[in-house]
Amino acid sequence: MRGMTWEGFARRAAGILLLVFGLLLAASLCRANAPGENPVPNIFEPHSTPADAIFHLSRFVLIITGMIFLVVFVLLVYVLVKFRARATDSPHEPAQVYGSTQIELAWTVIPILIVVVLFLATTRVIRAIQDAPRPENVVEVIAIGHQFWWEFRYPALGIVTANELHIPVSDPANPTPTHLKLLSADTDHSFWVPQLAGKTDLIPNRVNTMWMDPHRTGIFLGQCAQYCGTQHAKMLLQVRVDSRGDFEAWANAQKQPAKNDETVSAGRRVFETTACINCHSVAGTAATGRFGPDLTHMMSRRTIAAGAAENTPENLGMWIQDPDMIKPGSLMPAMKLSDSDLDALVRYLETLR
């Protein structure tokens, strides 16, 4: 501290205060979403039982660590101010004190107690989530992570879809949670919808599970939270929480086969005679591929390419012709169709609702 001047101390203190202000501003922006809208996943606005438990645990940990930061910061400022170099100071080194049983016990026992408290609080939340009772009317979903998209299967309903997960809202008086079995088709992924549940990994040759019981309807955004390759950052997902009636209507519509419209037979012929059928499935056609998303009702989804672009005819044509324009490094091959074949194929895909 001998070389520290008052101006240097002031600059350092200003830098620390600016950092704290930036963190507080970022937290406030995360909480600024309009009611009913969730453009940014926000852990500070939970809407299901697991997310609520994690939020309260996070707040408790933040309070404890915040208090530690405050104590250390105040002591640091006190030492910087009280023991700063002065012109009247002796040039000799001050007397040194070696060993203090009380201080050594304090900085050993107090951290141990803090860690034990945080460990017990975390264990309690983990056990409450993992050992939660399982009601009879649970909705079963198999979520499969692919590079770089999500596949969702509803075994009891016979539905297969992609990237947009539909689940019913759960009434606290009559809970209807959604249980997910998490699988990976290739490498490590991680399923994370911050407002509905904690983060759970999808690991090849291993089955993990999680559950959520949304308390209100709406759209909740999620993300693959484990680096899985070039387009990991664009492996997005949407969870659409529907009312019970809307969920049943959606499920009934998804069970229907693809519409057979003779006015787009040219586009269907392009689809069935190119590499499309090697990767994609369309119920009621010769397309039974499993490498890419099921397209039977693809136009019922709001986005394509796992949330990378809106599901519009223009974006769909661009995605088919040159996927790298939307999602560089994706595993979707560039079809390089003629303009007439591309237009016909897009018109056919527009009928898959």
Asked if residues 235 and 306 have their Cβ atoms less than 8 Å apart, the reply is: yes
State the average pLDDT over residues 158-167: 95
Q: Name which residue leads in pLDDT, 141 or 171.
A: 141
Measured CA angle at 351 (ends 163, 282), to 5 deg:
55
Note the residue count of the chain. 353
What is the rounded distance in angstroms from the CA atom of residue 268 to the CA atom of residue 263? 10
Domains and CATH numbers, the chain: 6-28+38-86+106-130 (no CATH), 139-254 (2.60.40.420), 262-349 (2.60.40.420)
What's the pLDDT at 66? 94
Stretch 143-156: mean pLDDT: 95
**34 pLDDT exceeds 60?**
no
* 317 contact partners, CB below 8 Å, separation of at least 6: 342, 343, 346
Residue 224, beta-bridge partner list:
191
Identify any residues that bridge with 210 across adjacent strands, giving them in sequence order. Answer: 180
**Degrees, nearest 5: CA angle 162-163-164:** 95
Q: What pLDDT does residue 264 have? A: 87
CA dist 268 and 276 (Å) reads 11
pLDDT over 50 at 1, yes or no: no
Measured CA to CA, the distance from residue 201 to residue 204 in angstroms comes to: 10
Report the pLDDT value the prediction gives residue 242, as an integer from 0 to 100: 95
Query: What's the whole-number mean pLDDT along residues 263-278?
Result: 88
Structure tokens at 50: 């697991």
Tokens read off for 331:
């595993």
Q: Which amino acid is at 180?
A: L
Name the residue among 287, 252, 257 with its Cα closest to residue 269: 287
pLDDT reported for residue 39: 60
* Chain segment 313-329, per-residue pLDDT in tens: 999 999 999 999 999 98
Distance from C-alpha of 320 to C-alpha of 331, rounded to nearest angstrom:
12
Q: With contact defined as beta carbons under 8 Å apart, do 257 and 244 qualify?
A: no
| Model confidence at 353: pLDDT above 90 | no
pLDDT of residue 112: 96
Quick one: pLDDT band at residue 136, thresholds 50, 70, 90?
confident
Could you tell me if 85 and 3 are in contact, meaning their C-beta atoms sit under 8 angstroms apart? yes
On whether the CB atoms of residues 139 and 210 are closer than 8 A, the answer is no
**pLDDT single digits (tens) 173-229:** 888 999 999 999 999 999 999 999 999 999 999 999 999 999 999 999 999 999 999
The whole-chain average pLDDT of the chain stands at 88
Instruction: Please tell me the least confidently modeled range out of 47-51, 84-88, 152-156.
Output: 84-88
* Between residues 41 and 232, the one the model is more confident about: 232
- Transcribe 104-121 into DSSP letters: HHHHHHHHHHHHHHHHHH
Pair 251, 343: CB distance under 8 Å: no
